[in-house]
Structure 1
Amino acid sequence: MKQILIVEDEQQIGHFLRRGLTYKGFGVSVVGSGEDALTHISERKPDLIILDVMLPDMSGFELCRHLRSNGYTNLPIIMLTARDELVDKVAGLNSGADDYMTKPFAFEELVARIGAALRRTESRDQQSQRIVVGDLELDPSSRQAWRAGEELILTKREYDLLELLARHAGQVLTKEQIFEYVWGYDSEAGWEVIKVYVNYLRSKLNAGGKPDVIHAVRGIGYMLRTV
């Protein structure tokens, strides 16, 4: 069950949100100040925050900036406030909020935005998880790679190519797919350039007599072997 923290000092709104989101299957907690929110988050980090801007002790902008600068970079934050001026929306998004909704609001739209924010976060988390294929390991967050426990010193292109192959291990990738991911649509890189970079990569992956894990499929592309 996803946990949502509502930071809202108007009790009636907090109660309405708690009841509605609980009915939708979320676990919901409500606090009425920025300090109470910080205490709650440090003890029980939620999956998402719904944040009012006008709080009794600090603004929602200040709270959002504080969270973003103290390690909570991937915690989804939706601002829900009566402040509907463009300058406020810009300030909210610039403070680190993922979304900004104004009151009055449609509850079903809020639920949809919550779902979208949670999906984006899950996608980012999946993308940042380590990739393991046989004795090969990659850490996308640091762009590091190891084979049999030994770190591989790779250029940007080499790492991009290896990560693409590793994310699709066992699947043949065409030269068009490789172009798009590693060089981009507008690249003038040719098929020969891909072969050159595959050879660069092989020389590092196969150092010390390790078996070749990159398989060339004639006329189509390349595949990273899973065994």
Structure 2
Amino acid sequence: MRILIIEDNHDILANLYAFLEAKGHNLDSASNGYAGLALAAQHEYDVIVLDVMLPGMTGLELCQKLRGELRDATPVLMLTARDTLQDKVAGFDSGADDYLVKPFSLVELEVRLHALLRRARGQTVGGSVLSVGDLRFDTENFEVKRGGTPLTLTKTGYTILKCLMTQAPKLVPRELLEQEVWGEDRPDSDALRTHIHALRQVLDKPYDFAMLRTVPGIGYKLLASDATV
């Protein structure tokens, strides 16, 4: 991905460069709103990482100009230390596509950037029905079938499965799954492991091939076949 980062915190910027460049992404950066807007006007980017609190021009103002004056639809992931509902609404109202509260996981940030890029490129999964191998999930009606056989999950199981199927066959960090299930109010205990075990009992135990795989200490992924490992 070609990514524009508009961030005035040098430590955060250095961490983003170290992590994202090591993953093969091409980065440009600006430390104030005016310079960031100029780069966005001059070049094409796959995604923009935009801090809210910037010198000269705030991230909210920049995003409004990006959408209004420049007619630029590049996906924007907004970074902020503010986590109230009002702050989030202001971010989305300005034209942002996603919102990440500091401090954040670099792994989660990259996962969100990939999701924004897929959405921008129209890489959706057939309306409300997700499909991985012989597994089907109608997300509107909460109907899951494997090989045509209906599966009954818990509310949390549906949430976890949707996240895994959306990203499949990519690895989903446990931090992202916890965020999807509990938001910022994550439990102290290893509750996620318990829910994964329950999901695995329904999804894989009756079948010869196990779709749900654990990457110890990192996260989980959903595979359609052994060929996708």
Q: TM-score scaled to structure 1, two decimals? A: 0.52
Say whether the 8 Å CA contact 1:18–1:30 is kept in structure 2: no
The Cα offsets for residues 122-148 of structure 1, whole Å up to 9 and x where unpaired, read as 117xxxxxxxxxxxxxxxxxxxxxxxx
User: Which sections of structure 2, spanning at least 5 residues, go unmatched?
Assistant: 124-229
Aligned to 2:76: 77
Aligned to 2:105: 106
Name the CA distance, whole Å, in 2 between partners of 1:93 and 1:77.
Answer: 10
Aligned to 1:51: 50
User: Which sections of structure 1, spanning at least 5 residues, go unmatched?
Assistant: 125-227
Name the CA distance, whole Å, in 1 between partners of 2:59 and 2:37.
Answer: 12
Say whether the 8 Å CA contact 1:18–1:29 is kept in structure 2: no
Say whether the 8 Å CA contact 1:5–1:29 is kept in structure 2: yes
SS of 2:121's equivalent in the other structure is helix
Aligned to 1:121: 120
Displacement of 1:53 in angstroms is 0.3
> Within 5 Å, which residues of 2 pair with 1:118-197?
118-123=117-122
SS of 1:65's equivalent in the other structure is helix
Name the CA distance, whole Å, in 2 between partners of 1:108 and 1:32.
Answer: 22
Amino acid across the alignment from 2:34: E
SS of 2:27's equivalent in the other structure is strand
Amino acid across the alignment from 1:3: R
Aligned to 2:23: 24
Aligned to 1:35: 34
Label 1:26 to 1:72 Cα distance change in 2 as closer, same or farther (>3 A).
Answer: farther
Say whether the 8 Å CA contact 1:48–1:75 is kept in structure 2: yes
Say whether the 8 Å CA contact 1:6–1:31 is kept in structure 2: yes
The Cα offsets for residues 94-147 of structure 1, whole Å up to 9 and x where unpaired, read as 1110000000111111111000000001117xxxxxxxxxxxxxxxxxxxxxxx
Name the CA distance, whole Å, in 2 between partners of 1:42 and 1:73.
Answer: 8
Name the CA distance, whole Å, in 1 between partners of 2:71 and 2:114.
Answer: 19
Amino acid across the alignment from 1:15: A
Name the CA distance, whole Å, in 2 between partners of 1:32 and 1:78.
Answer: 16
Name the CA distance, whole Å, in 2 between partners of 1:4 and 1:120.
Answer: 16
SS of 2:122's equivalent in the other structure is helix
Say whether the 8 Å CA contact 2:49–2:79 is kept in structure 1: yes
Displacement of 1:72 in angstroms is 3.5
After the TM superposition, which segments of 4 or more aligned residues of structure 1 sit over 6 Å from their partners?
A: none
Amino acid across the alignment from 1:100: Y
Say whether the 8 Å CA contact 2:7–2:50 is kept in structure 1: yes
Name the CA distance, whole Å, in 2 between partners of 1:72 and 1:37.
Answer: 15
Aligned to 2:67: 68
- How high is the sequence identity, in percent, across the aligned residues? 46
SS of 1:101's equivalent in the other structure is strand
Amino acid across the alignment from 2:89: V
Amino acid across the alignment from 2:107: E
- Structure showing greater Rg: 1
Amino acid across the alignment from 1:40: L
Equivalent residues, number: 124
Name the CA distance, whole Å, in 1 between partners of 2:34 and 2:24.
Answer: 27
Name the CA distance, whole Å, in 2 between partners of 1:72 and 1:6.
Answer: 19
